Amino acid sequence: MAKDREFFNRRLHSLLGIIPVGLFLTEHLVVNHFATGGASAFNAAAGFMGTLPFVHFLEVFLIFLPLLYHAVYGLYIAFTAKNNVSKYSFFRNWMFLLQRVTGVLTLIFVVWHVWETRLAAAFGAEVNFDMMANILSSPAMLIFYIVGVLSAVFHFSNGLWSFCISWGLTITPRSQKISTYVTMGIFVLLTIVTLRTIFAFLDPQLANM
């Protein structure tokens, strides 16, 4: 019975990490990328997302609650997993370790980011281009955001590889190898989007270098 429950929890954890959490991450990165078009483009895109019907319902039931479950159970997995990198240092074992490390880093970053933006908005602050530019003007926060967002991107991309195995989409070694290339390609693509966005808040010209 305990094994069945653990199997279910791990499957649910894997599913929620992709749908809806991973999809929301991708959408969030794409919307933020409007910053490369300047303050007005970013503010218009962010403002549109804030006017979606049932936006608070969507945030609670399609983002925060799935993210909370994925984060809490993910911490359990991270701190009970047996990492064998020191003994078997091959590619997939390193990916296994990095998945756990980036999961913890992502959780720390998400909590801080929500506190700095969503809770600030609840107290009357306006979440716009100027707010993000002001946050990222600090070198320490700039490094923190780069590490945090890239951790989230890696965690999602590599988690997609694990998801495909867990749900029986990639069973053969060849399909898993192809999946590795695809998911790492997604990581590179989202990394480019992320870095261009962050540097756009510092100087739009830097995003186009």
Task: Please determine, for residue 88, whether its predicted confidence score (pLDDT) is greater than 70.
Answer: no
> Which is more confidently placed, 66 or 91?
66
Higher-confidence residue of 28 and 207: namely 28
In the predicted structure, residue 89 carries a pLDDT above the cut 60: no
Task: Say how many residues make up the chain.
Answer: 209
The mean pLDDT of 41-46, rounded to a whole number, is 94
pLDDT at 3 over 80: no
- As a whole number, mean pLDDT of residues 69-74 equals 95
The answer to whether residue 82 scores a pLDDT higher than 90 is no
Higher pLDDT residue, 52 or 35? Answer: 35
Structure confidence at residue 42 as a pLDDT band (50, 70, 90):
very high
Q: Look at residue 10 and tell me whether its pLDDT is greater than 60.
A: yes
State how far the Cα of 71 lies from the Cα of 196, in Å rounded to an integer.
Answer: 27
Q: How confident is the model at residue 79 (pLDDT cuts 50, 70, 90)?
A: confident
Tell the CATH topology of 2-207: 3 helical TM bundles of succinate and fumarate reductases (1.20.1300)
pLDDT (average), residues 53-72: 91
Domain locations along the chain: 2-207
Range from 8-17, 79-88, 179-188 carrying the lowest mean pLDDT: 79-88
Give the pLDDT of residue 21: 96
CB neighbour class for 171 (10 Å; exposed up to 12, middle 13-18, buried from 19): exposed
